[in-house]
Structure 1
Amino acid sequence: MRALVRAELLHAGVQALGMDSVGDLAVALARGDTPSAIVLDAAAIERATGPTRAALAKLARRVPIVLVASRSEISGKPATPLEGVAAVLVRPVTVGEIVARVLGLLRGQAA
């Protein structure tokens, strides 16, 4: 699904990177690559280390983060698995829904 989301975002004119893990994202951020938006799987957040989670929460103040989660990953929890998440999409979710949410958030930033 990641490759399809990336392709749709590229088609919409959004520079999109595809990362295998939150660790790969952390490396890209350390290089100075700052994305326009981030789409993360909730399971990846659960596996992330404390410093990586803190860096993502800090980044969320500047860059919208869309979290894709199963209902069980978010039900009964007081907050999302990551502070500052701009949107949570609950599976099952389509590529179109993810792309539409990202584009909507980016349009909101430009306004």
Structure 2
Amino acid sequence: MTEQPCNETDWFDQSSAHRRVLEFLTLDIQNSQEWVNQLLDKIAGLETGKIGEWTRSGNAYYLIFSPHTVTIENLLVEAEPIETISLPEFKEAVLRWQDDLDNSISDLRTII
């Protein structure tokens, strides 16, 4: 059976944890390629065992990275439950975000 290409909207609609990743990327990473690169660097460190855990606190979310999972806590809404997603799924979201940033920059260059 052939796999259908995954639509980005469908990916983020899979669960509340997936939506939380999108919220984190939107509110805390925004359009910063530097922050995307930092995330990917730390993820690579976790995947290779160079680091065992990493935390990141942003404007709206606090994340705890381990070699297998990413835990995301909303810093602004205390009643919102803490979500956990696998590190590979989180990495997939960051790579999609990076691709969107790269495409928006190249789109802007064609306009200028």
Which bracket does the TM-score occupy, shorter chain normalised?
A: under 0.3
TM-score normalized with structure 2 length: 0.23
More helix by share: 2
Greater Cα radius of gyration, structure 1 or 2: 2
| TM-score after normalising by structure 1 | 0.24
